[in-house]
Structure 1
Amino acid sequence: MCCRHGPTDSAMDEDRLYRDAALARFYDLDNGWTDDRSFCLNMARGCASVLDLGCGTGELAIRIAGDYHTAVTAVDPALAMLNLARSKRGAGRVTWVEADARDLDLGRSFDLIVMTGHAFQSLLSERDRAACLTAFARHLAPEGRFIFDSRNPARCEWREWRPALSRREIADPEFGSVAAWNDVAWDSANYIATYETVYLVTSDGHEFRASSQIAFPSLKELKRLIAAAGLTVDTWFGDWTGAPLAADSAEFIPLGRRA
């Protein structure tokens, strides 16, 4: 896939799904504890320091700090998500930073850098992705490792983000039953999906709605940008079970270090 002209800003810059507290509150209920978090939690065992980029509501960061007494720094550009993270039990063990991964410079290095939940795909342009990977390299200890995920565009997962296919029910402690669904528009020129997320409170019909964008970079581009950032990949996984990467894998997951 060649370099394409497209948006230069991160999707997180104006994304109400993460920046509006009224919508961010649904995140944990809608997603739960996921395989990527379990994988990275296991990787963090024995690490003295961990950097969680795009930490969201902080579930992984808090578990790493609590389970292993590891020094964890958790970074996210969305204050609404960080506020939710800071309110959780065990949050005091984590250093929370409101910042953008593209220009992050904490002045220190880490044994492990993780970026889960497809946060990497919120970087909509090649320039943004390159800046993020450069930040990875800037913060890695000499023997440190990094890992992140990006969906394989060959799987066309966005086709499943239609109302009939994505409809689900959420049990909210305040609102009770909440119906949720997505809809999507696909930009084939820039490989960007613009998807809408809707939460509808069953009891009174109140609706929360936000539009988001994510990019689907190719494996070829990822390999090139990783190398250009001064990083190298030891293993490519195809999903968060640790399966090896294949042409039809759901994910591109590089586990690597400084070159």
Structure 2
Amino acid sequence: MRHAEFCDPRLVLVYDAECPWSREDDFFLSVVNEAPSSRVLDLGCGTGRLALGMVAVGHAVTGVDPARASLEAARAKSNAERVTWIEGTSSILPAGSFDMAVMTSHVAQFFVGDEEWAGTLSDLRRSLVSGGRLVFDSRDPQARRWERWNPVDSRRRIVLPDGRTVSAWTEVTAVQGGAVSFTHHYTFPDGERLVSTATLRFRSEELIRSSLRGAGFAVEAIYGGWNREPVGTGDGEFLVIARRC
């Protein structure tokens, strides 16, 4: 199933267990906290990890995601009633409603086509107040991260809240024009096997910058790692901070 890790409740549970709070969340929260008590949009909020972290320190947070199973998992968590959860895409965002927008966990790479990406950026710009900030991560294609997505390097064991252990691994199925397609494989203790397929777009730094300019954003900074290292010297990331013009 395409995007099953977000849409299938069995794999949403696995995803949530595999992706606890991390230094990546610390980075996004540090940027958001530069403007206390902000109205923050979390686009592609998934199971709500960062949204709940932001609301816990005083921000007014709206989490938007098209995957109902992920939102149901988010709504079941402690303090979830303090977040506004919306099932949908960027197209439903109200104009001028947010001081800041974030896209975490490489959500930006799921917008594969140029028109789809441009439309998302246009929606985000519309939803932000003048001077509002957009923060997101995207993997640096120069790091060629997808080369580690193979049955050997990607193999992992994920412990679920009930103590069961799920075995998982990833394989790349196609690399073409900056788009990388892959399949996650999961094996449950009872022998059940599930898969989740997806395609991610790896954009160059210049392509990210030009797309932001075209959408009416000014780039404030692009870092290469979670400790705000320069591009090429960090973790193989583009950590982008832009401002609505």
Check whether TM > 0.5.
Answer: yes
Query: Residues 167, 14 of structure 1: CA spacing in aligned structure 2 closer, same or farther, 3 A cutoff?
Result: closer
Q: Alignment partner for residue 98 of structure 1, among 87, 110, 125?
A: 87
Amino acid at match of 2:227: T
Where in structure 1 do 4 or more consecutive aligned residues deviate above 4 Å?
none
Once the two structures are superposed, residues 160-207 of structure 1 have per-residue CA deviations (whole angstroms, 9 ceiling, x without a partner) of: 00011111111113361211111112323x2211111122123x2222
Could you say what secondary structure the match of 1:185 adopts?
Answer: strand
| 1:117 matches 2:109 | no
Could you say what secondary structure the match of 1:149 adopts?
Answer: strand
- What is the TM-score normalised by the length of structure 2? 0.93
2:175 equivalent in structure 1: 187
Using the aligned pairs only, state the percent identity: 34
Contiguous gaps of at least 5 residues in structure 2: none
1:226 equivalent in structure 2: 212
Query: Residues 167, 136 of structure 1: CA spacing in aligned structure 2 closer, same or farther, 3 A cutoff?
Result: same
Amino acid at match of 1:254: V
1:56 equivalent in structure 2: 46
- What is the TM-score normalised by the length of structure 1? 0.88
Contiguous gaps of at least 5 residues in structure 1: 1-12
Taking only aligned residues, the RMSD between alpha carbons, in angstroms, comes to: 1.8
What CA distance in whole angstroms lies between the structure 1 residues aligned with 2:240 and 2:41? Answer: 16
Amino acid at match of 1:193: V
| 1:25 matches 2:27 | no
1:250 equivalent in structure 2: 236
1:163 equivalent in structure 2: 151
**How far apart are 1:93 and its partner, in Å?**
0.3
Could you say what secondary structure the match of 1:25 adopts?
Answer: helix
**How far apart are 1:100 and its partner, in Å?**
1.2
2:128 equivalent in structure 1: 140
1:127 equivalent in structure 2: 115
Q: Alignment partner for residue 209 of structure 1, among 195, 214, 217?
A: 195
Q: Alignment partner for residue 55 of structure 2, among 43, 48, 65?
A: 65
The answer (yes or no) to whether the contact 1:41–1:64 under 8 Å persists in 2 is yes
Could you say what secondary structure the match of 1:208 adopts?
Answer: strand
Could you say what secondary structure the match of 1:196 adopts?
Answer: strand
The answer (yes or no) to whether the contact 1:155–1:248 under 8 Å persists in 2 is no
1:237 equivalent in structure 2: 223
The answer (yes or no) to whether the contact 1:54–1:75 under 8 Å persists in 2 is yes
Query: Residues 104, 14 of structure 1: CA spacing in aligned structure 2 closer, same or farther, 3 A cutoff?
Result: farther
What CA distance in whole angstroms lies between the structure 1 residues aligned with 2:24 and 2:235? Answer: 15
1:5 equivalent in structure 2: none
User: How many residues are matched?
Assistant: 243
The answer (yes or no) to whether the contact 1:175–1:201 under 8 Å persists in 2 is no
